[in-house]
Copies of this chain bind each other. A is one copy, B any other.
Amino acid sequence: MIASSTKSVYGLNIPASPKSRRSGVNGLSSAKRVKSSEKRLKPGRIHVVLTTLGREIAQEIIPAGAVLPPENELEARFGVGRGVVREAIKMLSGKGLVSVRPRHGTRVLPRRDWSLLDRDVLNWLVGEDQPDRELLLAIQEVRSIIEPAAAALAATRATKQDRQRINAALMAMEASGNQATATAADKAFHLAILDATHNPVLQGFRGAIDTILSAVFVVAVDSVAGWFEDNIPNHASTARAIDEGDATKARKAMERVLGLTHSQLSKKRVGAVRRDAEPRGSRSLRQT
């Protein structure tokens, strides 16, 4: 239920507004009567358990190989019933984050086994204050493999509507005023190209690309102000090449798009404004 871009199941709009959501829902105070007179959008208990555990695993607060607490302890910790804990863990295991065996507990699997292209997993990994740089670069590397090829395919296969969609996104990028609209337009552009390949497997990357672009914006934007604007011409020539049906040109143009992004991401190393969060790992958020 989390993995939905257009069909918000609960009406919970968590994604784009990264407020520190340290709401103390998971206190062990239990207090069943959460019925307090407000009708706030309640993220759902399963969702809370899922994302909390997912993030703790992704951040290696619970390292690979460790076993997480038994069901009854988790029940107590989150103040939820057993079914909730089980269903949450079931989803984690479905995404390859943990393996659960009868007498041995549920143990965290090495990252090798995670579904790294799953939208939720990616979110937990990258939706942090300071996403793992290496991971971000690895993802960009994969984008540099996928997206130029996708652009080339799109140049061959795009329908009239596909082209319109791509060009509309391009115009939205040019017209974007703030970071929010810029991010949205950029995403729309890349997703439209993926869709224009008419390859369902390639379209399956939509969620991943979407998530990644958010992270890239967060990391890149505050280091290089002109990055987004500088990259618009590359986007434009990609769109033009697809319009003309020139696969090679489209591939090259998309390579330039990603090349610029990549170089911004890499150089973020030094010129950054923030000096904090450098020592990875020992963040101070830890819950017993």
Contacts and interface: CB of A to CB of B under 8 A. Distances in A.
Interface string A115-131: 11110100000000000
Given A145-B145, A200-B138, A93 B38 contact: yes
A94 interface: yes
B149 A145 contact: yes
A141 to B, nearest CB: 6
B203 A112 contact: yes
Nearest to A195: B288
A45 interface: no
A94 B115 CA distance: 11
Contacts of A95: 94
Interface residues of A, number: 59
A113 B6 CA distance: 10
B200 A116 contact: yes
Interface string A185-203: 0000000000100111111
Interface in A144-201: 145-146, 149-150, 153, 159, 161, 195, 198-201
Interface stretch (A72-80, A96-104, A215-223, A270-278): A96-104
Interface stretch (A23-31, A83-91, A240-248, A261-269): A83-91
A21 interface: no
A280 interface: no
Contact of A200 (B9, B90, B111): B111
A286 interface: yes
Contacts of A205: 117
Interface string A1-41: 10110010100000000000000000000000001011000
B1 A93 contact: yes
A113 B204 CA distance: 7
Contact of A141 (B159, B201, B288): B201
A142 interface: yes
Nearest to A121: B204
A116 B201 contact: yes
Given A87-B86, A87-B87, A199 B99 contact: no
Closest 10 CB pairs of A and B: A116-B204, A145-B149, A91-B94, A94-B94, A87-B90, A142-B201, A138-B199, A138-B201, A116-B201, A38-B99
9 contacts: A1-B100, A4-B96, A83-B86, A87-B90, A91-B94, A115-B115, A115-B117, A138-B201, A141-B199
